[in-house]
Structure 1
Amino acid sequence: MTHLPHLRPEDRADFEWVLNLALDVTDIRSALEQGSTAPDRHQLRARAWASATEIAGTAADEYRAYRRARAAVTHVLQDPGEPSRPPTSPGAGVLLPAVAVLAPLLSAIAGVAFLFLGYGIRLVTPESRMAPSLITSGWISALISVVTTAMGLGGLLTTALRRRTTPAPPLVVHNPAAEQARNTWQQALLERGMLPYLRQQLSASPPHPQ
């Protein structure tokens, strides 16, 4: 027995579409409307989802062919004229956020320390030449903390807006080969998997008591 590929999350919508199509087939819809069987439409749908692996396995070859055809055309989502971007090293992705967090914090700590020492020395020794330098350094550090904090928040806001406005790439490229493979898989899933399963569930269920 060949290994059955698991139904990928992005293909669950296709499974749901085939399930809805099967539930609307004449004999299945009539059996559900007559109420002569135990499961209703919702129960039958739940059973089909619980047996999704078994049902999808009946069209495993067509599903593999569809996935291969889809994978073969996904590279066209990138503009051929657009130069490829070099991959960003993992270290840079970790270092930059760390710097954005630590820089304002360290500047704030340094500013508080300089101001505390400067005003303390000036209070004890008003004639000291060190106190004004420490106080100036403290206010400069505080200003740096405010500026770096604002820059960090601006960067986070820009990144959030960019992610929000960037559309997700389509799951399936409108390629004739990929679309044909998809239709073939859906047809096989309907005829060999979904319809026989639903009919078996309906025939195996005992009738409602009179």
Structure 2
Amino acid sequence: MTLRLRPEDRADFAWVLALALDVTEIRTALARSPVTPDTARLRARALADADGIAATAADEYRTYLRARAAVMPSHATTAPPAGIPPIGSGSGATGQGAGALLPALGVLTPLISAVAATVFLLFGYGLRFATPRSQAATTLVTAGWVCALAMAVSTGIGLCALLATALRSRARPPSGHSLPLRNPEAERARSAWHQALLERGLLPYLRRELTVSPPHAD
């Protein structure tokens, strides 16, 4: 069975292909004959034949996959039966909802408090100016300053909540598949695969393509 390239490794294939296209003999052959395919078309052909080209370095690729699997955490999980949610999914959703609600309240509460403080203070001082001994004016002014204090406190809480959310997002590991850095064995296996892919796969493929005149495009 042919070992197919994994999706996360096709970027490595494209990078080695770029190296192969930059080899002097390949660049010279591309520039020398006007009937050979141009670089973009040759790259597209190689990418389309990626699995077949990579098969020439299958042993090194298997070694690399084993080395990578040994140092990468497993993301495999057991799927629950149909209709039964995974354990802890409800609490996780609740936690995420609460985490999203807190920053929203941190933005809305200061805004509402600021509007209320402005209205109460304007009416309160306006009424006090008209009737200096008005009890209603004193009540409105007091309510306005209470709302102003609430605005200051909620603004501080909102900033703390936004900061905590940013720190959690920064600490969360990125999604997707990536090679752990500073692992000598995995990096050596990766380099060996790249070298085999270049010497036994891509360079012979490009040489063959450059010695065959392609059909004229419409």
Question: Normalising by the residue count of structure 2, what TM-score does the alignment of the two structures yield?
Answer: 0.61
2:42 maps to 44
2:80 maps to none
Aligned match for 1:22, one of 20, 23, 31: 20
SS at the partner of 2:4?
Answer: coil
Counterparts of 1:1-210 in structure 2, within 5 Å, are: 1=1, 4-8=4-8, 12=11, 14-25=12-23, 27-49=25-47, 51-52=49-50, 55-56=53-54, 59=57, 62-63=60-61, 65-74=63-72, 89-119=95-125, 121-122=127-128, 126-146=132-152, 148-149=154-155, 152=158, 171-206=179-214
Distance 2:36 2:214 in 1: 6
Distance 2:52 2:145 in 1: 70
Distance 1:178 1:33 in 2: 37
**How many Å apart are 1:138 and its aligned residue?**
0.9
Residue identity matched to 2:192 = T
Residue identity matched to 2:213 = S
**RMSD after superposition:** 4.2
**How many Å apart are 1:94 and its aligned residue?**
0.9
Residue identity matched to 1:184 = A
Do the aligned partners of residues 53 and 118 (structure 1) sit closer, same or farther apart at CA in structure 2, a change above 3 Å counting? farther
Whether contact under 8 Å (1:38, 1:207) holds in the other structure is no
Distance 2:96 2:163 in 1: 22
**How many Å apart are 1:137 and its aligned residue?**
1.8
Q: Write the deviation string for residues 128-171 of structure 1: whole angstroms up to 9, x where unpaired.
A: 3132122122133134325544664587579879989xxx9x94
Task: State how many pairs are aligned.
Answer: 191
Do the aligned partners of residues 176 and 102 (structure 1) sit closer, same or farther apart at CA in structure 2, a change above 3 Å counting? same
**Sequence identity (%):** 57
Whether contact under 8 Å (1:107, 1:141) holds in the other structure is yes
**How many Å apart are 1:5 and its aligned residue?**
4.3
Do the aligned partners of residues 207 and 130 (structure 1) sit closer, same or farther apart at CA in structure 2, a change above 3 Å counting? closer
Distance 2:202 2:20 in 1: 7
Question: Normalising by the residue count of structure 1, what TM-score does the alignment of the two structures yield?
Answer: 0.63
